Structure 1
Amino acid sequence: MVNIRNLDPSASPLDYYGSELRRLREEAKLNQQQLGDVLFRTASLVGQIETAKKAPTRQFSERLDAALLTGGHFSRLAGLVLRSQLPTWFQPYAEMEARATYIYSFQAGVVDGLLQAPEYAREILSARTADDLDTKVAARIERQRILQRGTPPLCWVVMGEAVLHQEVGGSAVMRAQLAYLLSLQEHEWVKIQILPFSAGAHVGVLGSFNLLRFEDDPDVVYTEDFVQGHMTADTAAVREGVLRYDHLRAAALSVEESARLIARVMEGRYGDRAEADGRVLA
């Protein structure tokens, strides 16, 4: 028999998902091959997910719900499973990010993770390791679902102009990423500002950082080094973060000017065409 392994459902969200998949598949009297055929996926993939050797994507979960008539059971589990696949040191921040009312981010060198297109995210993640990239990308894209909620947080991102020129994954990947940034202008809860090269020395030269604000909890400031992330609600640290962020927003181009710059770089450097106001031409 293929891919038989006893799971402890309480061991992890991934183990629980796998045990539920096996239980409900067997209740439906389907083997792994039959379920794979229904899902347009291989029996091997079904087996790997059932044995917690591979994490499911949201698309897989949605197809599974439709095939087994589970009323959205696996789709609801998908977010928990994918969050558990984020780096261990990053998971506490991701949990706080998901509860935040306001997210303020300064990124000096890369597009903020909440605004990354899938192929750009893949290139960024592959720079560190090529292991299980599909799961890593799915976990990062899953984080972005907080921006699709009925009442999403306000996400305000300031990025250094170098982010637009650092060619990640080639022209096609960058063109798609910049087009995606421009498309986010349609959402009133996402604001993007570019800190131009002309700003010179600025308070963000020491590195990227995020600020999270909540309705009822203390504000949090988050930074990363090359090993892990650091999160604190220390009043002095948060006050310094807020002050620096205010300076960065003041030095950055306006949201409208930033969109025009993104469009110019997309057209001039990566070979796409855009309207002067930043709207992408079909």
Structure 2
Amino acid sequence: MPNIRKLDPTTSPMHHLGAELRRYREAAGLTQDQLGGKVYCTGSLIGQYETARKIPTRRFTMQLDDVLNTGGALLRLLDMALCFQVPLQAKEIDDLEAEAAQAYFFEPSVVHGLLQTKGYAQEVLGVLHKDELSAKLANRLDRQLILERQNPALIWVILGEAALHQVVGGREIMRSQLAHLLAFRDHRAVHIQVLPFTAGAHVGLTGAFTLFRFRNGPDLAFSEGYEAGHLTANPEDITARTLRYAHLQAAALSIQDSADLIARVMEERYGTQS
């Protein structure tokens, strides 16, 4: 069945691009499947582009322009859309995590959601919205299933040392959480580094951010916000965030030294679990 999600072109440039792609396709008298056949993809993928659920590459957009005889209109819209930051809700970020081939996370003061234990996640999510806690907790734990896939994405996480010391939910929950982090030492796809207090001033002082890389789509960068985060595919922003992440990796402890620090904090700060 074709994807006919209703879009408001005034919501964002990416929605405008999707709406225009649909308009050009319908003007050409093509179904999503028929257009997909002409550009060597599925109709479902065309539907995801039309509903702004995915961002097409420039090369693919040029193919669409050629087939639909738009005079390059779609590529011009894509270039404009990539320059804007798009607000995203939590569910949309979950979808990006699930689809990414690689994801790079920086969290200066809290353990990232994909690595949280149930007890830790419950404390974090219940700070303001206890009435919605059950649903939010179930969703967070479901997100972590991507780590158990047969071919999981590459996940790289840099945690600020503060995340190890900030007591969330008490000593037992923290000990369990740090032990859970140590359990990833031999994971084939998850790599954890700790940015120590001794690193001093660093390029991550402005806050948490994420980089997503996809097999069939442009790289994306995501920055956290209180109510909604913001996503960008602007190549200049991606380059700047990639450089920032490389600096953080260089300033952080090695994976082995990070595990040693986590184990030391677990024993010295949280002691033996009762």
TM-score range, shorter-chain basis? 0.5 to 0.7
The residue type paired with residue 191 of structure 2 is K
| Equivalence map 1:23-102=2 (5 Å) | 89-102=89-102
Which runs of no fewer than 5 residues in structure 1 stay unpaired? 1-87, 274-282
Partner SS, residue 257 of structure 1: helix
| Equivalence map 1:97-246=2 (5 Å) | 97-246=97-246
Measured against aligned partners, the alpha-carbon deviations of 1:158-197 in whole angstroms (never above 9, x if no partner) come to 0100000000000000000000000111212110000000
- Partner residue in 1 for 2:259: 259
Given that 1:93 and 1:231 are in contact with CA atoms closer than 8 Å, whether structure 2 keeps it comes out as no
**TM-score, structure 2 normalization:** 0.66
Question: How much has 1:272 moved relative to structure 2?
Answer: 3.3
| 1: CA distance, partners of 2:128 / 2:184 | 28
| Larger relative contact order, structure 1 or 2 (CA cutoff 8 Å, min sep 6) | 2
- Partner residue in 1 for 2:270: 270
Given that 1:157 and 1:193 are in contact with CA atoms closer than 8 Å, whether structure 2 keeps it comes out as yes
| 2: CA distance, partners of 1:220 / 1:89 | 15
Question: How much has 1:225 moved relative to structure 2?
Answer: 1.7
Question: How much has 1:262 moved relative to structure 2?
Answer: 0.2
Partner SS, residue 131 of structure 2: coil
The residue type paired with residue 117 of structure 1 is T
Partner SS, residue 202 of structure 1: coil
**TM-score, structure 1 normalization:** 0.65
Partner SS, residue 264 of structure 1: helix
Question: How much has 1:242 moved relative to structure 2?
Answer: 0.3
Question: How much has 1:108 moved relative to structure 2?
Answer: 0.7
The residue type paired with residue 94 of structure 2 is A
Given that 1:101 and 1:213 are in contact with CA atoms closer than 8 Å, whether structure 2 keeps it comes out as yes
| 2: CA distance, partners of 1:92 / 1:172 | 33
% of aligned pairs identical?
49
Partner SS, residue 219 of structure 1: strand
Given that 1:195 and 1:251 are in contact with CA atoms closer than 8 Å, whether structure 2 keeps it comes out as yes
The residue type paired with residue 119 of structure 1 is G
The residue type paired with residue 225 of structure 1 is G
Partner SS, residue 269 of structure 1: helix
- How many residue pairs get aligned? The number is 186
Report the aligned-residue RMSD: 1.1
Runs of 4+ in 1 over 3 A off after TM superposition: none
Which runs of no fewer than 5 residues in structure 2 stay unpaired? 1-87
